[in-house]
Structure 1
Amino acid sequence: MKTLIAYSSKHGCTETCTRLLAERLVGEVERVNLKDTSEVNLSAYDAVVVGSPVYAGRILGEVRTFTEEHLDALMEKKLGLFICGMQEEHTIREELELNYPAVLRKAAVAVDCFGGEYHFDSMNLMEKMIVRKLAKVKEDVSDIREDTIQQFADSLNKVEEDDKDTPLS
């Protein structure tokens, strides 16, 4: 199976999560940062995973544009969708539902939240002030959910195994 992980990352957490996911997926995996390119030939892939951090309740614009422009092609793939963030569980679940269209979420074999990180050295002054005030955090914190990433990968890998078990007509 050839898998594309299409993502965008603002401070590096989502990129870290894509690396961790890629290590756990079977077959060939290519990661593409949508900040660097928007030209992706989806026909070259059996599976596509789309991921983004959430800021102020929204995924990054380039990820939203990617899903909108490639909606039909994504519906034809083994699909995974994820977001990264440090919100409370119920909030991040709502954001996951709000940011990916229902039709994509229903078609996906894996949909989840991978947790998040705060890296103060990569934030601007305003971001630091907001995190300190709202999250009450004053130093770097990592809450990447590696067990969730593993379960996500297992779901995609199981689809691959199931396809191998299906006899050809």
Structure 2
Amino acid sequence: MERSQPRVLVAYGTKYGATGEIADHIGDTLRQAGCTVDVTAAGEVGPDLSAYDALVIGGALYAGRWHRDARRLARRARARSHGRPVWLFSSGPLDDSAARRDIDPVPGVRRLVDRLDAREHVTFGGRLDENARGRMARMIVNSGRGGDFRDFDQITAWAEGIARELLALSDTARPG
């Protein structure tokens, strides 16, 4: 009997696109491992999540808060997750701290982890470059604190762990 392919939604909230690129990378990794994946901006996810066996939701961090669209989707997912496994990720530190050590989720995301009974939360480094708009973003970049601090090897390893867990769950769910 053939293994069933878990269907996964990878959704993200981003302002400048870096978190969306992380979500795309997670989606590619899950696909390569044998999952069926939709990668979608959190604000574009429809109300019906029943087509998915698992959810991965990520949000960019701004001033200690998750992107609004990611927060809204996570709240909706709480009401509609029905025991589906959920993983959460944040992106944002503009240094290499996320690659060197585990970073606890910010308080609002910690509450979402608990309320969704998420399997795991991880924080990845962020990216802020000279194309960023907005006064604060320009100030950060102009002060020399911008850059790309995403560690794609770390992101790949995390997504591969999700895939292993989902594929093991799909094996145990098979009749036989």
| Fold similarity call, TM over 0.5 | yes
Would the aligned equivalents of 1:109 and 1:155 in 2 still touch at CA under 8 Å? Answer: no
Identity %: 23
Give structure 2 stretches of 5+ with no counterpart: 1-5
Match of 2:153 in 1: 147
Moved over 4 A (4+): 87-90
RMSD of the TM alignment (CA)?
2.6
1:84 and 2:95 matched: no
Are 1:127 and 2:132 an aligned pair? Answer: no
| Residue type of the alignment partner of 1:61 | R
Equivalent position amino acid for 1:93 in 2: I
| Length-normalised TM-score, structure 1 | 0.81
Q: Runs of 5+ in structure 1 lacking a partner?
A: none
Is the CA contact 1:53–1:59 (under 8 Å) kept in the aligned structure 2?
yes
* Cα distance change, pair 109–148 in 1 and its aligned pair in 2 (3 A): farther
Residue equivalent to 1:69? 76
Matched, 1:103 2:142: no
Aligned equivalents of 2:50, 2:106: Cα separation in 1: 26
Where 1:86 maps in the other structure, the secondary structure is coil
Select 2:38's aligned residue among 21, 30, 42: 30
Is contact 1:85–1:115 with CA below 8 Å preserved after alignment? yes
Deviations 1:77-96 (A, max 9, x none): 12110000125449x82444
Corresponding pairs, count:
163
Whether 1:19 and 2:12 are equivalent positions in the alignment is no
Range 159-168 or range 113-122, more displaced? 159-168
Deviation at 1:122, TM superposition (A): 2.6
Contact 1:118 1:142 in 2 (8 A): yes
